[in-house]
Structures are given as C-alpha cells and as structure tokens.
Structure 1
Amino acid sequence: MPRSNQTKQLLAQSLQELMVTTPLEKISVNDIVDHAGVGRNTFYYHFEDKYDLVNWYFQSGITQFLVERSAYSSWGTLLTALETYFLENKVFYCNALAYNGQNSLQQYMFDYLCSIFAQNARELNPEIPSDRTQMAGQFFAGAMMGILIPWVFGGMKSNALSSVSDISLPVFNHDIMQQLLRGNLQ
C-alpha cells in the first residue's frame, strides 16, 4: 500500500476509534491528529476537513467491498452486501450518517449511488440521452437511500435490510430500467 494510503488509513482508524465514544460533530481535526500521532499539516495534505475523511473512508471501503462481492448484479445482492459492510462498521456509520449538513456522508452516498446507477443505465442503453440516465441514477439512489438511512437510524438490526431485498423492484431489471430511461415508467 502506498505511503499516502497508509496515512489516510491511519487517520481513518483514528477517527473510527474516537467515534466509539464521541459523536462526529464533537470530534475535531486536532483530536484526530493527536490520536493518530501526526501533525495537522499531514491531515490537511490529504483531506479538506473531517467530513472529507469520512467520505474518503466510505468511498474506499465500500468500493472495494462491493467490487469484491460483485454486488451490483441485483437489488437483493446489493442490499445484502451493503448490510454486511455497514454491520462490520456499525459504530462508524451510525455516527457518520447522523450528521446531514454540508459535506455530509448522506449526500456523498447519494451522489456515489447516483453515479453507479447512472453508469448501469448508460451501459444498458447507450443511445439514451445523459439527462435520462442521470434521472434513472437519481431514482434508484433515492430508493436505496430511502431504505438504507431508516435502517441505520433504527439500529442496524441484522438481516432487516437484506429482508427488504424480496421487494419486487429489482434495481437492474432491464425492463424497468428501459421504461424509466424512455420515460414510460408508470
């Protein structure tokens, strides 16, 4: 692992350890760097603020986790993979998602999921205009966040999120995606 990533991981681990006892809003950059044993300049070399660190941790962790599990194949697979990942990092995500202000993880996750679903829509039907694929991405990201956030705030009860995977709206159902892209979904 490159030294830059090691430093980022060290800072993320420091933040995670602090979040066990302290809400994210009450943790300062000074707290993070003191706990990690590095200087403030090191932190600001890698991140704009603590929320940037939170978003980096999510993006780096979830991408690796989902790619390793090929979780993009269906709604159920994606929900099950997300549940597993979030449960493995429960304290961090309960704490990080509680904040919904500027540069929040909630907004970052929504944007991240939008890009994943929009890319899937583009691959499914490359001739559809980009504004339609963006709308499809927003639609499915909103659905995912609408399930994920209440589950997190409800205490992340095991198997509760993956049990929703039985609903009849598969994210990657080609017929539904095609109808949505063409504006025919009713």
Structure 2
Amino acid sequence: MAKQYTKETIQSVFIEMLNERPLSKITIKEIAERSEINRNTFYYHYEDIYELLSEIFQKEIETFINEYNDTLSWEDSFISASRFALENKKAIYHIYNSMQREELRDYIYNVAGEVMGKYVERVNRNIGASKEDEIMVKEFYQCALTEMVLRWISTGMKEDPNLVIKRIGKLFDGNIERSLSRSGSL
C-alpha cells in the first residue's frame, strides 16, 4: 500500500513539474524533494526519469482499456483516451520537444491503436471482412490519427482537439464500413 502511494506521489509530482518546465530541466533530486522522499526511494521504484515517463504512459493506456465503452463512436473513444494529454498540454509539449519524443509518439500510436482496433473490430462483427483486412484498416487509421495528433502538438496545440476529431469523423463517416465491406470482393 505504501509502495503504491509513493509511486503515485512520484508520478503526480513529475507530471506537475512537466507542466511547469521542459523534461531536460527536471532532475531526480527535485522530484525526490517535492515528493518528500529521498533519492534512494526514487531509485527503488524507477531506474531513471525515462522509466517513470514510460510507466505513466503505460498506466494511461491501461486506464483507457479498462474504461473502454463499446457503445462510443471512435471519435468519442479517442477523445476519452486523450484525456491525459488534454489535461496536461504543457507536459505533452515539453515531452514532444525533448529527447523522449519517441516515447510520446509510441504512447499516441498505442492509444490510437486501442481505439481504432476496438472500433474496427466492433464494426466488422456485422460485416465479416478477413482478419488481415480488419488489421489493415485499423492500422491505417491508427497511423493517420497518430500523425494528426503529432502535428497538432508540433503546432502548439491551438485548435480544439474535440472539434478537429469530430470534424474528421464527419468527413470520413462510413469509410471504415465501406473498406471492410470491400474485403470480400478482393
């Protein structure tokens, strides 16, 4: 119980610090001081800041998977899955502009994959496209969403992501179903 509390405190302090300044300006010593622990306690839980960051992203993905609602559209699911990024825009921007950009890209890619995978699988239950085509459609939208989010971050996250995602949904409405339906004739 105390171990979990300590880890949650470290994670919370780290996210708070990321919202204040770039990743490169955060030290383990500062995290430990703000968390009111000693450095050895930090190292008991994490090898370094990058392992801490990786665990935070993994935890967010697991939270989404556990809270996934099969009745939501992919747009609403993606917005729900992006809750952490929307609540911590500065932290995300600081990570994007650090050496850990790849960690952020992987996190976004995994979230997009979970959202699109579950949605495409649900749509395909009524269509019966081959598993290979189902995977291909999922991966196409996973890649497209990942790049859209990375572009949004790189341009300063000025646009309202809810409006952008909803608009993409309207522009491409029905394309997933049509793509899966074509599978049988290929």
Contact 1:51 1:103 survives alignment (8 Å): no
Asked whether the 8 Å contact 2:73–2:119 carries over to 1, the reply is no
- What is the deviation of 1:97? 2.7
Alpha-carbon spacing, 1:114–1:61, altered in 2? closer, same or farther (3 Å):
closer
- What is the percentage of aligned positions where both structures have the same residue? 24
The residue that corresponds to 2:10 in the other structure is 11
1:98-137 matched pairs, under 5 angstroms: 98-99=97-98, 101=100, 104-122=103-121, 124=124, 128-129=130-131, 132-137=133-138
Equivalent residues of 1:18, 1:27 under 8 A apart: yes
So what's the TM-score if we normalise by structure 1?
0.70
The answer to whether the aligner puts 1:151 opposite 2:152 as a matched pair is: yes
Deviation at 1:63, TM superposition (A): 4.8
Residue 46 of structure 1 is matched in structure 2 by 45
Give 1:84 shift. 5.2
- Whether the 8 Å CA contact 2:129–2:184 is kept in 1: the answer is no
Structure 1 gap ranges (5+): none
User: 1:70-81, aligned counterparts within 5 Å?
Assistant: 70=69, 73-81=72-80
Q: TM-score, with normalisation over the residues of structure 2? A: 0.70
With over 3 angstroms needed to count, the CA separation of the structure-2 counterparts of 1:76 and 1:115, relative to structure 1, is closer
Could you say if the C-alpha distance between residues 47 and 112 of structure 1 is closer, same or farther in structure 2, counting changes exceeding 3 Å? farther
Paired residue for 2:163? 163
Coordinate RMSD, CA, aligned: 3.7
CA contact (8 A) 2:9 2:35 kept: yes
CA distance in structure 2 between the partners assigned to 1:29 and 1:96 by the alignment: 16
Q: Using the alignment, how far apart are the partners of 1:169 and 1:119 within structure 2?
A: 18
Residue in structure 1 matched with residue 86 of structure 2 by the alignment: 87
**C-alpha deviations, 1:90-131, integer Å up to 9, x for none?**
2222212333547612223313432443354455358844x5
Aligned residue in 2 for 1:55: 54
Give the count of matched residue pairs: 180
Inter-CA distance 141–103: structure 2 relative to 1 (3 Å threshold): same
Question: Which has the greater radius of gyration?
Answer: 2
**Change beyond 3 A, Cα 1:78–1:8:** same
